[in-house]
Homo-oligomer: A and B are copies of this chain.
Amino acid sequence: MKIITIALLAAGIAAPASAQTAPAKPLEMPAKTLNPPTADISPGMQEIIARPLNPDWNFHAKTGEEWRAKADAIAAGVTPGLPAMLDRLHVKMEASTIDGVRVHVLTPDDMPAANRDKTIIHMHGGCYVYFPGESGTTEGIMMAGFGHYRVISVDYRMPPEAYFPAAVDDGITVYKSVLKSSDPKKVGIVGTSAGGALTLEMVVKAKQDGLPMPGAIAPGTPMSDITKTGDSFYTNEFVDNVLVSPKGFCDDAAAFYAHGHDLKDPLLSPVYADMGGFPPTILTTGTRDQLLSNTVRVHRKLRRAGVEADLNVYEGESHAQYQFDDTVPEAKEAFGDIAAFFGKHLGQ
C-alpha cells in the first residue's frame, strides 16, 4: 500500500488525504553540469544567461566606505554607456532634487496624451549599496523609453551616507511631493531587486502613514525577504550567475544597510507585510533567479489578500537579467508588459 500511495506522486494527480508518508528529511542533490538554455530565448539574452558566475558574488565589505568604493568602481563602468542608451531609447535625463532628495527626471520624446498626467517613480536596485547617482537610472530609462512615461528615478541615500530607513524615506518624500500635483491613482512605482523591495516598502510605509495608495506598482524580483528565507535561495544556489548564493554580497549588503534593525521588519522584508489594500501589482522574475521564491511568495500573498497581481517568469534568466541590456528583446518585452499594466490601472 505504501508503494502504491507513493506511486501516486509519480503522475500528477490527487492523493487521498490519508496517503501521508515519512517525516521531513533533507534532499541530497548530486552535483550537476548545467548547459545554458536556448529555447525561446533571444541570442542576446542567451549570451547574458551563459555568462560565468559573477566573480564579485562573494565580495563582503567591512565598512560603508568600502561598499561605497566598490559602488563607485561599478558606477564607473555604467555611466559612460548612458548617453548612447538615452539616445537609443529617445529619453532625456535631467538631474534635480525634490524636497532635498536627489532625483533624475527621465522624459521620453514620445509620450502619448494618456500618459502625460501620469508619473512613474523609479527605485533602483543594488542591494541598498550599489548604483549611486546616474548609474542608478538605467532601469528608469527603460521604463521611460519602452513605456513612454515620465519617470522620476530616486537617487536615495545609501551607506555610508545614511542607513535604514533612509532609502524608503527618500522614496516617500518624492511620492508625497508628486501627490501635491497628482492624483495618487496616476502614480506608479517601479524597481528591481532592492528597488523591487523598496517599491513594496513604500506601499507599506504609505499605509503606515495614512497616505493614499499609488495606482499600480511593478516590483521586479524584489528582495522581499532578507532573512535568507525563500526556497530558491537554495535550489538556485550556484545556478543563478548574478547573486549566486544567499551567502553572497547582496544579503550581506542589505543587512549592512539595516544597521542592526530587525531584518523581518516589513520595511526591510516586505513579504512579512499585511498586503490588504495594496494597489494592483505586476511582478517579474526568471526561472534561475535566487529570488524566484521571494517573488512568487509576494505574488501569492497579494492574491490571498485579494489584490490584483500579475506574474511574469522568464525562461532561464537569473536575478534581474530582464533589465540588464535594453538591446535584448526580453527587456523591451518586460517593460512593455509593465507599461501595459500601468496603462490599464493608472488613473482607474
State how many residues of chain A have any CB contact under 8 Å with chain B: 123
Least CB separation from A196: chain B residue: B12
CB 8 Å contact bits of A96-126 with B (1 = contact, 0 = none): 0000000000000000000000000000111
Question: Cα distance A235–B53 when bound, in Å?
Answer: 15
Q: Which residues 53-93 in A have Cβ within 8 Å of B in the complex?
A: 53-57, 59, 70, 73-74, 76-78, 80-81, 84-85
| Pair A24/B36 contact, Cβ less than 8 Å | yes
B55 touches A6 (CB 8 A): yes
Among A1-33, those with CB < 8 Å from B are: 1, 3-33
B residues in contact with A24, CB < 8 Å: 35-36, 46-47, 50
Q: State the Cβ distance, A334 to closest chain B Cβ, in Å.
A: 10
Q: CB within 8 A of A13: which of B34, B36, B138?
A: B138
Alpha-carbon distance between A34 and B238 when the two chains are bound, in angstroms: 13
Q: A260 contacts which chain B residues (CB < 8 A)?
A: none
How far, in whole Å, are A29 and B59 apart by their CA atoms in the complex? 20
A270 at the binding interface (Cβ < 8 Å): no
Q: Which residues of B contact A29 (CB under 8 A)?
A: 31-34, 238-239
Please state if A3 and B55 are interface contacts (CB–CB under 8 Å).
yes
A residues 283-335 near B (Cβ < 8 Å) are 287-288, 292-293, 296-297, 299-301, 303-304, 310-316, 319-320, 323-327, 331, 333
Asked whether, in the complex, the Cβ of A236 is within 8 Å of the Cβ of B235, the reply is: yes
A169: interface (CB < 8 Å): no
Contact A4 B74 (CB under 8 A): yes
Determine the chain B residues whose CB is within 8 A of the CB of A232 once the complex forms. Answer: 287
What residues of chain B lie closer than 8 Å to A77, measured between beta carbons?
1, 4-5, 7-8, 19
| Chain B neighbourhood of A319, CB < 8 A | 12
Q: List 14 A-B contacts (CB under 8 A).
A: A1-B77, A4-B74, A5-B77, A13-B131, A13-B135, A14-B324, A15-B325, A16-B325, A21-B51, A32-B238, A37-B293, A230-B315, A297-B315, A311-B313
- Give the CA-CA distance A39 to B293 in the complex, in Å: 10
The yes or no answer to A183 lying at the interface (CB within 8 A) is no
Q: Which residue of chain B has the shortest Cβ distance to A238 in the bound complex? A: B29
Q: Which residue of B14, B135, B221, B315 is within 8 Å of A12 (Cβ)?
A: B221
Determine whether A194 belongs to the interface, using a CB cutoff of 8 Å to chain B: yes
Known: A13-B126, A127-B11, A324-B9. A32 touches B241 (CB 8 A): no
| A46: B residues at CB distance < 8 A | 24
Q: Please measure, in the bound complex, the distance between the C-alpha atom of A50 and the C-alpha atom of B22, giving whole angstroms.
A: 8
Residues of B within 8 A of A313 (CB): 292, 296, 299, 311, 313
Please tell me if the beta carbons of A324 and B8 are within 8 angstroms of each other in the complex.
yes
Question: Which residue on chain B has the smallest CB distance to residue A71?
Answer: B11
| Distance between Cα atoms of A314 and B314 in the complex (Å) | 16
A296→B289 CA distance, assembly (Å): 14
